[in-house]
Structure 1
């Protein structure tokens, strides 16, 4: 029987667990967290959806996991992730590994993680999940013949620092591009305190431009009450997406835009990996490149001011 583990039983970890309860084969599930209350909450959420009768083991230490693991999700904060990655791969043989974003808070940690992963026979992906959504997969096809694309995200307090990677990854995915030049000059000077202790957020506007001159514009305003909107303009199309209200408008024609929650996605990632050996998420190699581009820009913007992204 295959072993599947989640390390980190926070809000997102518990949603990964709910998704994996839906895997259509017999597996043993493990969730690891040093905090008993987090494990209890995750167990309660798991039991609500465990209609297939999966076995769940709650552990406090990564080193208590089995030595062979088919699939592992690392769902910790960014400051913890490298230590957890080292501990996990020193302890067990992992076939498939899914890392949450923001991957790591320093450039040096990307270098260390890459060296570790180069010595292991583990396929690694990063959970920038929108490329899994069928609606964005269809949109990618619609945009194939478009040029002069501007992709804009505008909202209020949507955690630009930690969520920019999602939109950068999606932007590059839709355009089949891999690099950008990032401009932070329109970010608000004072960083904001994140909801998570010890981390920061940004408000204002961040822009990124590809070598083909396609542009990404991300704006998080401090005040307002409107939903976050995505607007994509090209030479042939104007597309507006309200993910929360699940509506897309293409040149004025509206239709349903299905949003997918994590509690219905991680099982699909696992099943794709088992069937084909890969999945629709970004690989670690490409995602690390995208993270580092953002992190360089953020660090240059911060200068002597300290702050980590989660």
Structure 2
């Protein structure tokens, strides 16, 4: 018997989810909705490029009204500005057993209360795709130093999308420490147009301080071509991961604090989706934050960014224009 998967939005991220779904080791009936024929065409091409099995099928839809009424897992891969609107169209209308939402969840701070109310009991079976929790680097870091007040992490690089991507990293802080945190944004004055049309980006710093000790600092430089680097400092070890160049440098007392180089690449979304969906279908922990946890981290992060821009006289109200 096949499981039914419904993907909302066939854009870049949605099509990568489709590619990942081809690796699920069970029969699937996949439906993907997007109002854009071009997006559906590209998604079909990307799906066909990696599909190898006949027991996984894909049906493209140009209307949510044509979606199946019984869905095992729905993946909402839209941009943040329309996600709540999509949830209004599917939650309570379709029988969805499990739900996976992309980040940023919603742009407007007020939408989080409505989103939670709309989901109701379904929030317990709704997860948010803050997928860095699934990266081996962070899983191993947690295994060694979970809740350690001496752990300090710095994430830096040039123009890497602090606005749209910072919630990935504030979520990592919650993942590693599981304690309350304070976030402070020391942003540059200029607001930048995002690579995604209609959205904005910020540069500067976002500092997360853990109440019991430890912290995470994010830096996005407004100029230069500095690589994206994640550095974890601890009295017993220093790990510096040049993500841009897939190199990890490890130094500790065992190697005389002389950095040892190894290869380490960040997983693509298409490499993660199959395991996440399989765990969701089987009723096991998929490794991602649930809606309640992630909504709290989102609110704290977006509030800090909005406050950081108000210091420069830029007031977006309660709507942070990122995705």
For the criterion TM > 0.5, the same-fold answer is yes
Q: How far apart are residue 140 of structure 1 and its match?
A: 1.3
1:298 aligns with 2:305: yes
Taking structure 1 as reference, are residues 121 and 160 closer, same or farther at Cα in structure 2, changes over 3 Å only?
closer
Partner of 1:210: 210
1:271 aligns with 2:278: yes
How many angstroms apart in 2 are the aligned matches of 1:269 and 1:68? 20
Q: Secondary structure at the match of 1:162?
A: helix
- Residue of 269, 293, 297 corresponding to 1:286: 293
How many angstroms apart in 1 are the aligned matches of 2:187 and 2:77? 28
Segments of 5+ residues of structure 2 without an aligned counterpart are 252-258
Partner of 1:55: 57
Q: Secondary structure at the match of 2:92?
A: helix
Deviations 1:130-160 (A, max 9, x none): 1112332122112248432221011011000
Taking structure 1 as reference, are residues 11 and 121 closer, same or farther at Cα in structure 2, changes over 3 Å only?
closer
Q: Secondary structure at the match of 2:244?
A: coil
1:26 aligns with 2:24: no
How many angstroms apart in 1 are the aligned matches of 2:123 and 2:246? 39
How many angstroms apart in 2 are the aligned matches of 1:119 and 1:63? 23
How many angstroms apart in 2 are the aligned matches of 1:309 and 1:210? 25
1:1-310 mapped onto 2 (5 Å cutoff)? 1-53=2-54, 54-120=56-122, 123-144=125-146, 146-177=148-179, 179-184=180-185, 186-251=186-251, 252-303=259-310, 305-306=315-316, 307-310=320-323
How many angstroms apart in 2 are the aligned matches of 1:146 and 1:121? 30
Q: Secondary structure at the match of 2:172?
A: helix
Q: How far apart are residue 81 of structure 1 and its match?
A: 0.1
Q: How far apart are residue 235 of structure 1 and its match?
A: 2.4
How many angstroms apart in 2 are the aligned matches of 1:91 and 1:122? 18
Deviations 1:107-139 (A, max 9, x none): 111000100111447611111111112332122
Segments of 5+ residues of structure 1 without an aligned counterpart are none
Q: Is the contact made by 2:145 and 2:151 (CA closer than 8 Å) also made in structure 1?
A: no
Q: How far apart are residue 37 of structure 1 and its match?
A: 0.3
Q: How far apart are residue 269 of structure 1 and its match?
A: 0.3
Q: Secondary structure at the match of 2:296?
A: helix
Q: Is the contact made by 2:123 and 2:291 (CA closer than 8 Å) also made in structure 1?
A: no
How many angstroms apart in 1 are the aligned matches of 2:265 and 2:30? 28
Give the TM-score normalised by structure 1. 0.94
Give the TM-score normalised by structure 2. 0.91
Q: Is the contact made by 1:86 and 1:116 (CA closer than 8 Å) also made in structure 2?
A: yes
Q: How far apart are residue 171 of structure 1 and its match?
A: 2.2
Q: Secondary structure at the match of 1:117?
A: helix
Q: Is the contact made by 1:192 and 1:202 (CA closer than 8 Å) also made in structure 2?
A: yes
Q: Is the contact made by 1:95 and 1:121 (CA closer than 8 Å) also made in structure 2?
A: no
Taking structure 1 as reference, are residues 249 and 142 closer, same or farther at Cα in structure 2, changes over 3 Å only?
farther
Deviations 1:248-300 (A, max 9, x none): 22212333324210111111101112234331111111100000001111222
